[in-house]
Structure 1
Amino acid sequence: MARDIKIEPYDGPAGGWGSARSVTEILTREHALTSGPAVLRVQNKPGGVACVSCAWAKPSEPHLFEFCENGAKATAWENTSLRATPDFFAKHTVTELLGWRDYDLEQTGRLTAPMRWDPATDTYKEVSWESAFEEIGRELKALKADDVDSVVFYASGRASNESSYMWQLLARQFGNNNLPDSSNMCHESTSVALPETIGMPVGTVWLEDYEHTDCILFFGQNVGSNSPRMLHDLQHCSQRGVPIITFNPLKERGLERFVNPQAPTEMLTNSATRISSQYLQVKTGGDIAAIMGVCKALIEADDGAVATGSPRLIDVDFIATHTHGFDEFADSARAASWDTIEAHSGLQRADLETVAATYAQSKAAMGIYGMGLTQHRAGVDNVKMLVNLLLLRGNIGKKGAGICPVRGHSNVQGQRTVGITEKPELFPLDKLAELYHFEPPRHKGLNTIETCEGVLDGSVKAFLGLGGNFVRAVPETVAMEEAWTQLRLTVQVATKLNRSHLVHGRISYVLPCLGRTEEDVQLSGVQAVTTEDSTTFIHASYGRATPASPTLKSEPAIIAGLALASLDHTTVPWADWAGDYRLVRGAIEKTLPEQFYDYETRMRTPGGFPRPNTARERKWNTKTGRANFTVPASFKADADVEVHAPDVLQLMTLRSNDQFNTTVYGYDDRFRGVDGTRHVLFMNRADISRLGYADGETVSVVTAVEPDKPRKVAGLRIVAYDIPQGCVGGYYPECNPLIPLWHYAEESFVPAAKAIPVRLER
């Protein structure tokens, strides 16, 4: 279908009337003008529904409208009146649907009945729940007898704590720890770096710390599109004079200025709040060098203070009492060359020294970051470097300070807490053995990258997905889709149709589930579920909307059905759990009593209840018993990928503000001035001229490594944009075919989607 394409600069702020119009437009398009607003009124509020979009914190005293533009889009998307019924599937073969755009697939509406792929007609046909569970169970038993490790149990970050606990228990009772999830694709670098440095796999900042901070260092996260509710907190900080120093390759509007849609005066006058006080456009992959430059400037200024007898600029008492490895790190900072720092970061020494001077004057600073730090070959070192910077001034474990990773999916952090992990040492398997009288598998399971490798080499034979769009989200897209069709069994639990349902195994089921915004009534009555936000607070969520179809089952009911059909011996009361989620929460409390004591009562606390966080109390559960300074292996994001040719550019993948992960709500990236297309390549004007291209020209992009394995995305329109020289940007997941499967973060295995060496072709 042809679309009008318009590309022109956008001069407006984040929020404001643009946001209001966008919300109204999607509610209208999804035919959700009745159901959508009813949910939005209680979204992210005590007694209401937890947003299915981002995982930003939910205040105990919410705003009148405690939802953002993208959260409203997610709610409208789930509460659409459009339906993908069995009649729809009878009219369209899978081969035909594979030619549809991602947006058009999901725009068919909510799935209404369990479906099985029929190879004779190449269509999905309705089946009964009983027959679906029976065949899936039979296939799983046969695969277990042949090779228990050939089955993968993937979980999307939208699954509740209750569903996630049941899912991990199903996998472990089946006999493996093959529990990859969406955190493997985004913040696993955080989960590796923080335990080594501060002894916790999560951030230390709570929402209340924003009221007390006096300096914010912001790295690699597009708040205006990915977690707009955070703009309220950043706006309040800016209005009271807190410096907000941003490191990001692109000038993102949400990090520049914001008009609060809930402030009538701001809306009437279009009066915007400045967000970033200093904006440094670091090169893609230049974060280690940039942070090292700030550390170097601070340490050398402190050396000068010692020489002159002036007050110290680093927190020597904190460092002496609470840290390990300072001298080695300080020596490496002093030895670092400013020429090297400037070359790799793309920033000037004077600008980094200004950051250091501002930071030195603060009493409580926090470091906020997103996937702009984690999705690099050196993503773990990126996070460790930010920890180094915070430790220099004692900014872990005090009010108004700390490290704040901004998670994406609404419960991607919570599901890891309750057992979705391929690493058996991270979950109390002995407690599972005690509670359920079985021997849990102790060998490491497959993460996302290893799952992809197993699909390619044939060792993975079945994939069960609890939500998500795995095939579209992973790297090496072309090879993955070709290999995917050789799987024996694929089972997808979903609310809407996506490409992962169409690139299927030989036996393929799509099982439709209730959405979180929908009322969930089981044998014991109306159910609640729980989620964990980015700041480790647990919240209750109560669906309000009428279910899209009476045929839908809840995620716990589907998991229970799969378990009962595929497990020969189990003492888990699966059917009881499916009928009363309080029993599941009771099981979680017994498994993790220190974190979930009095679960049923505390989950209703306005603003949620926090999990224990030892680093906030300056108790360091590390090998040294202290918070650890570390020295990075290199200043380069991709230390082992040496590509120096002048025509090689560093590609970073991006989301538009009409998108959440692989879900595309529309073709308007308002803040970047792109309307009607996602096939664009953002380039620096100097690079366009230097390489002999023109703004508006259409090109192909090819990966600049492994020429014997060509990886190409064609038909991208060059858009001249304010991006550092040598860097280009393109949309995710359209650019995923360019990412080699081996191009992942060392230690964490996160796909390195933020610094991909590429060339252009006509």
Structure 2
Amino acid sequence: MLIHPKKHFHPYTHASGGWGSAQSVMKILWREQAFAKGSVALLKQNKPDGFACVSCAWAKPGRPHALEFCENGAKATAWELTSLKTDPAFFTRHTLTELRQWPDYDLEQHGRLTHPLRYDAASDRYQETSWDEAYREIGAQLQTMQPDSVVFYASGRASLETSFMYQLFARAYGTNNLPDSSNMCHESTSVGLQESIGVPVGTVTLDDFEHTDCLFFFGQNVGSNAPRMLHQLQDVRKRDVPIITFNPLRERGLERFVNPQSPTEMLTPASTLISTQYHQVAIGGDTAALIGLAKVLLDMEDRAPSTILDHAFIAEHTQGFEAFASMVRSCHWQQIERQSGLSRGALEAAATVYAQSERVMFIYGMGMTQHRHGVQNVQMLVNLLLMRGNFGKPGAGICPVRGHSNVQGQRTVGITEDPKKVPVELIEQQFGFKVPEQMGLCTVDACEGILDGKVRGFIGLGGNFLRAIPDTSRMEPAWQTLDLNVQIATKLNRTHLIAVKNQWLLPCLGRIEIDRQNGVAQTWATEDSTGCIHGWHGSAEPVSPHVRAEASIIAGLATAALPSASSIDWLGWSSDYSRVRSAIANTYPQIFHDMETRMAEPGGFHRPIAVAKREWLTESGKAQFVTPGTLNEDDDVSPGDIPRDVLQLMTLRSNDQFNTTIYGYEDRFRGISGTREVIFMHCNDIARLGFKVGQRVLLTTAIEPEVKRQVGPLEIVAYDIPEGCAAAYYPECNPLVPLWHHAERSKVPAAKSVPIRLSPASTQPL
């Protein structure tokens, strides 16, 4: 195992970006032994003639900056282009039992997988196999299994072409079991926006940033999770546009920014103030805060009729306003303040700016979606925008910030457990098989199926499933009862080490690598957070001649498992991706017509968003005001019944990670170095609960006491966070999240608000 750096806790007082980001990029390029190769690749990252970042899904402009990458995007590129390798010889030295003791960082840091591998139970090791043998044996195994006992999971990395092939493979096999990473983050968005405005995605494009006169941020840490957006935010602030932020923690990326591409800012003390108001809402208090904002608007309207609300828009384009307004008026300020953790004055300050602004955008992240009432949170954002007609005009709308790079795109081309969300008739006409009618399994359902034994097989198209899901300590033992586990991956991770009866590890090309099929370099496409579809191609040579493209692997598995189930020419498709794109265009003509030409245009092409024309594809044909059922978005325990020793925990990511991938032990913006084993608490909570800064504690879930869920020991760090709240890192704290603790209707794990108790672990320092 690797030697980890020593711990340091020092408050970070600098702006985000700047020299800190530049130094971090240089450090990881050097560490991954990819300085030359990585530096060349970065010049093509997110450029029209290059490749899409393998990290976040933020928009890729048609007129890119000279360096169109951020610190975390550079880390993702260095991580993929590393010269370090995990080859078959590595597994002759290490058993899976031994490797399960390694930290996640050490596993992935060892390097890229280079050969197809099969698990050998007798030696407890992976052994090299051939691709033909892997396809043949996996296909034979799938043919013996009931289709609905197999799960086809997809992370958010795969291209549109691969994702389209993958969902056809699952459906031709006979199942709609197609859970994906969206189930764990923005499914609350897909459900909430579809019901409220008729589209499951955001309505904002990059152009809207040039026209807006006010931005609101909710539960999204732009500095760590979508840093390239800081360029748009800086431009907005140069026009003196206010940015109002609601977030439990004060995050540096939402406070100040130094543009690493600006010599003036890099060589002077200059920086850009990002948030003009910063409201530290309590964990679980978002709905209450939004109701407070709506209540202020209604009060202002009562005092000056027809000056605040857009009555013409409400009358022509919406339904449900009166019921919503009645509920808001009935809420008392004492209740709103207690639940939100914000004063009436703070909410009046934010609402006043909103009322004075004509074109307003709401930007939000998983801080809004990963709650028991996450769908309600999303719909409350829509309600506020509808009150002032902030849809269907430049500079206005709603902007969910998606996580993984193509998670939105793979949903667009059919990665969904719900057959009602795919064009069944067109699929059946084109490809000659019957699409299963039954509802498939989402991520939470798949976990429940593994626990109760109904799920017997699992195919993973990327990702680190066992680390990403909740209830880890219950899921890992259940996982070992599976009959089949197939993982398509670039690097070794925890999910690959929990062995089952039949297990394969199939190494794939990275997105940055040139994908040659029959000697011809292929292009591929993705969809970003703003609904824009781009074409891309790799720029680096593959890490090994033995790795294969994801599309080729899907084709090989489908050919072996489905010898005569459809008319799809899997191998022909995998050798020429333009044929896949033609099929996508025929299946989704409204979105992908002329795809081959349009995706090559600078900036790509946008999927049509009816809301931009004030057309509402809802059941009523109008936008819906949805009246919230509760102010408490996490009501497993009612506020009046929460014991004083219970804190509300939110999980968060560090500055040195992306999803479950840990790039290092530096969370620079929060002042943490050399460790991830910490819990952030308010100094008053530390004192009143009888603890001390630096003390080691165990965290225990404070609901469902008959099931012990515990994490630790973690070291207490005093931090600027609302009283009664705490924060610690994902995925380390996933064992604390019960599987049933998910958002109503969307089933997104409610990892942003988990009731916990603390107990002393040891007096010795970590």
Shorter chain as normaliser: what TM range? Answer: over 0.9
Residue 337 (1) aligns with residue 332 (2): yes
Aligned partner of 1:633 in structure 2 is 629
**How far apart are the structure 2 equivalents of 1:640 and 1:717?**
27
**How far apart are the structure 1 equivalents of 2:269 and 2:140?**
61
Shift of 1:707: 1.1
- Code of the aligned partner of 1:43: Q
Aligned partner of 1:675 in structure 2 is 673
Aligned partner of 2:211 in structure 1 is 212
Aligned partner of 2:22 in structure 1 is 20
Aligned partner of 1:693 in structure 2 is 691
Shift of 1:3: 3.6
SS of 2:631's equivalent? coil
- Code of the aligned partner of 1:717: E
Give per-residue Cα distances to partners, 1:106-143, cap 9 Å, x unaligned: 01100000000111110000000011011100110001
Structure 1: state its 5+ residue gaps.
none
Shift of 1:34: 1.3
Residue 620 (1) aligns with residue 622 (2): no
Alignment of 1:295-694 (within 5 A): 295-306=294-305, 311-523=306-518, 525-569=520-564, 570-642=566-638, 643-694=641-692
**How far apart are the structure 2 equivalents of 1:28 and 1:411?**
28
Shift of 1:620: 0.3
2:19, 2:266 within 8 Å by CA — same for their partners in 1? yes
1:524, 1:580 within 8 Å by CA — same for their partners in 2? no
Give per-residue Cα distances to partners, 1:172-231, cap 9 Å, x unaligned: 000010000000000000000001000000000000000000000100010000000000
Shift of 1:568: 3.2
Shift of 1:441: 0.4
SS of 1:652's equivalent? strand
Residue 55 (1) aligns with residue 57 (2): yes
Aligned partner of 1:134 in structure 2 is 136
- Code of the aligned partner of 1:394: G
- Code of the aligned partner of 2:392: G
Shift of 1:524: 6.2
- Code of the aligned partner of 1:74: A
**How far apart are the structure 2 equivalents of 1:504 and 1:392?**
54
Aligned partner of 1:65 in structure 2 is 67
SS of 2:616's equivalent? coil
Shift of 1:641: 3.0
SS of 1:34's equivalent? helix
SS of 2:728's equivalent? strand
Give per-residue Cα distances to partners, 1:268-288, cap 9 Å, x unaligned: 003110000000000001000
- Code of the aligned partner of 2:125: T
Structure 2: state its 5+ residue gaps.
761-766
SS of 1:453's equivalent? helix
Give per-residue Cα distances to partners, 1:680-702, cap 9 Å, x unaligned: 00000000001000011000000
Structure-1-length-normalised TM-score? 0.99
Residue 742 (1) aligns with residue 744 (2): no
**How far apart are the structure 2 equivalents of 1:561 and 1:568?**
11
Shift of 1:2: 5.4
Question: Which stretch of the first structure deviates more once superposed, 235-244 or 74-83?
Answer: 235-244
2:99, 2:497 within 8 Å by CA — same for their partners in 1? yes
- Code of the aligned partner of 1:700: L
Aligned partner of 2:148 in structure 1 is 149
Aligned partner of 1:761 in structure 2 is 759
**How far apart are the structure 2 equivalents of 1:174 and 1:180?**
15
**How far apart are the structure 2 equivalents of 1:742 and 1:438?**
35
**How far apart are the structure 1 equivalents of 2:756 and 2:480?**
29
1:19, 1:69 within 8 Å by CA — same for their partners in 2? yes
Structure-2-length-normalised TM-score? 0.98
- Of the candidates 107, 119, 140, which is equivalent to residue 117 of structure 1? 119
Give per-residue Cα distances to partners, 1:655-685, cap 9 Å, x unaligned: 0010000000000000000000000000000
- Code of the aligned partner of 2:137: E
Shift of 1:429: 1.1
2:4, 2:674 within 8 Å by CA — same for their partners in 1? no
- Code of the aligned partner of 1:265: T
1:16, 1:270 within 8 Å by CA — same for their partners in 2? no
Aligned partner of 2:764 in structure 1 is none
1:637, 1:755 within 8 Å by CA — same for their partners in 2? no
Change in CA separation of 1:512 and 1:2 when aligned onto 2, cut-off 3 Å: closer
Q: Percent identity?
A: 60
After superposition, the CA RMSD in angstroms is 0.7
SS of 2:304's equivalent? helix
- Code of the aligned partner of 2:487: Q
SS of 2:35's equivalent? coil
Aligned partner of 2:32 in structure 1 is 30
SS of 1:299's equivalent? helix
Runs (4+) off by over 2 Å: 639-643
- Code of the aligned partner of 2:751: A
**How far apart are the structure 2 equivalents of 1:219 and 1:605?**
33
- Code of the aligned partner of 2:450: V
**How far apart are the structure 2 equivalents of 1:430 and 1:729?**
47
- Code of the aligned partner of 1:596: F
Give per-residue Cα distances to partners, 1:447-477, cap 9 Å, x unaligned: 0000000000000000000000000000000
Question: Which stretch of the first structure deviates more once superposed, 564-573 or 684-693?
Answer: 564-573
**How far apart are the structure 1 equivalents of 2:162 and 2:614?**
33
